[in-house]
Amino acid sequence: MSYMEEFKFWLEDDYFDQETKNELLAIRNNEAEIEDRFYQELEFGTGGLRGVIGAGLNRMNIYTVRKATQGLANFILKQGTQDKGVAISYDNRRMSTEFADVTALCLAANGIKAYVFESLRPTPELSFALRTLGCTAGVMVTASHNPPEYNGYKVYWEDGAQVTAPKDKQIIEKVRAITDYHTVKTMDKEEAIKKGLYQVIGKEMDDKYMVELKKQIIHPEIIAEVANDIKIVYTPLCGTGSKPVQRVLSELGFKNVYVVPEQENPDPNFTTLEYPNPEDPKAFTYALRLAKEKDADIILATDPDADRLGVYAKDAKTGEYVSFTGNMSGMLIAEYILREKTAMGTMPKDPALVTTIVTTNMTFPITKAYNVKLIEVLTGFKFIGEQIKLFEQTGSNHYVFGLEESYGCLAGTHARDKDAIVAVMCLCEVASYCKKHGKTLWDMMVELYEKYGYFKETQYTITLKGIDGAKQIQEIMNKLRENPPKAFGERKVLKFRDYQNDVILDMATGEKTPTGLPKSNVLYFELPGDEWCCARPSGTEPKIKFYMGVKGTSLEDAAARSAQLTEDLKAQL
């Protein structure tokens, strides 16, 4: 059907409720809006759904969520694992509670038991819960750090990680195979509860999660020593992190934890935030104000579903607070874990650190210094989680730490997705170590630069919305793929990696070798001096992202090299 025919179907068919029809009637004279809502189905991608909330095929609503769930249910039934059930959690966004129930009741109608959290919980606890319960899958209703008008739906498999190949594509096929909304099942909630197909979970799972988190602490005695002195400011950015973060820090003994009052409670409108993303400096406005008032050592912010962590720490020399990227905070935690476990003799046999191809290259010298294997995977923490599963299946390595540039990391294997709660806990231990030795986190970061090199990473993003935007993004990728630049300014391209076509091209010799990673629409340019540039379309937003990394001789040199590489990239585009 054309977009206008789809629009009329939604208006006229009895399947859709009157509230949905009223919303559509309000746009009946706006053809551009109708086209945007109905020109395509909201894509069920490799991670699930994400989109603007509203009526229509190309929106997040109870109908698109239920249809996606029916596809997931059909896949589970085909696998024969329906008796294991599915765990469901959700964050504070608009319609999150409703979408969680829609998901649960569709599963229940298909004879699959749903374990639903009693109230909002973080993404990493969903990952932990489905593994603890032995579920076949999990669903997290969240749009992560997207603006308030968005919501989303992430699918996890029994190992606790988001679904990877080939299951991701197989689930997508099942979702796409549903062409008639009338075939999508649901049932009454009371009936589902009565039949044991809808079970509420909560406190008991929280307690088990806390036990696993605290196992990652290496030196509780150092925390005890400085617990009365160190000052921590924390903001959950109006999301799910508030209760678990405050609980774990309290149970570890930290006495001076100050939570930003304006952002402590869940708020689906994110009233005090332009954008609930710890990567955005504006998200720290209230936290920085409180930190200056309390003379805090460290400022921490978790995103709405509490899988990403943003950090500021005081520079003792200037008295100002310095922003840390996800690469920086990840490297601080990684080096601390590797150093202390090596010193204590608790490093496991065949240790491995897992990271993504767009994460800082500082991982290379750090892992080499501690004789830890470094494994690089495609962008997306699900690929890090997949490596943990492979280690367990083969016994080839033991997971020590994993991180990605987008403010996500994981210590421990209790979850298989990035966990901002454990990251908060680990970074507070590192900050305690610094406090004990008369240093700040920023002092330790500078020490890492001096020891391993002044690595600096940056991003350049182009946002192109709608149908035309999607075409432009594809055109940019096609141009770079078919005619890869031979240089970025004065930097020659040494090797060109095309992950879509599984080839690494040596630009000097013309030799081609495989990438060794799954196919993905990602292009990577290796440059001299441990520098690089990578291009990939976002899987969740109408954007094309360019990631870049440089290595300088000082902070100033690294900043200048980064700025120049960005300008050279723009010139290529």
* Segment 344-359, tens digit of pLDDT: 999 999 999 999 999 9
Q: Is the pLDDT of residue 541 over 90?
A: no
Q: Quickly list DSSP for 326-337.
A: HHHHHHHHHHHH
The whole domain housing 563 covers 454-572
Query: Would you say residue 102 lies in a domain?
Result: yes
Could you report the per-residue pLDDT of 216-262, keeping only the tens digit for each? Answer: 999 999 999 999 999 999 999 999 999 999 999 999 999 999 999 99
156, 185, 207 - which closes a domain: 207
Residue position matching structure tokens 């709660």: 421
Domain count of the fold of the chain: 2
Query: Would you say residue 394 lies in a domain?
Result: no
207, 239, 269 - which closes a domain: 207
Exposed (0-12), middle (13-18) or buried (19+): which is 244, by Cβ within 10 Å?
buried
Task: Specify which residues 496 forms β-bridges with.
Answer: 505, 525
Could you report the per-residue pLDDT of 54-73, keeping only the tens digit for each? Answer: 999 999 999 999 999 999 99
Q: What is the pTM of this model?
A: 0.94
Distances 473 to 380, 386, 476, 511, 565 between C-alpha atoms, Å: 20, 29, 5, 28, 21
Could you report the per-residue pLDDT of 387-420, keeping only the tens digit for each? Answer: 999 999 999 999 999 999 999 999 999 999 999 9
Q: Quickly list DSSP for 46-77.
A: TTEEEEEBSSSTTSBSHHHHHHHHHHHHHHHH
Give the domain CATH number at 59: 3.40.120.10
Query: Would you say residue 189 lies in a domain?
Result: yes
Query: Would you say residue 396 lies in a domain?
Result: no
Q: How far is CA 255 from the centre of its chain?
A: 30
In the chain, % of residues over pLDDT 90: 94
Could you report the per-residue pLDDT of 95-149, keeping only the tens digit for each? Answer: 999 999 999 999 999 999 999 999 999 999 999 999 999 999 999 999 998 899 9
| DSSP summary character for residue 143 | -
Query: Would you say residue 507 lies in a domain?
Result: yes
Backbone angles phi, psi at 255, to 5 degrees: -95, -30
Instruction: State the Cα angle at 484 between 481 and 487, rounded to 5°.
Output: 155
Give the domain CATH number at 546: 3.30.310
Backbone angles phi, psi at 398, to 5 degrees: -120, 125
Query: Would you say residue 463 lies in a domain?
Result: yes
Could you list the active site residues? 144
HSE, CB side, 13 Å, CA atoms: give it for residue 142. Answer: 29
Query: Would you say residue 287 lies in a domain?
Result: no
- Indicate the pLDDT class of residue 484, thresholds 50, 70 and 90: very high
207, 226, 253 - which closes a domain: 207
Query: Would you say residue 467 lies in a domain?
Result: yes
Residue 263: per-residue pLDDT: 98
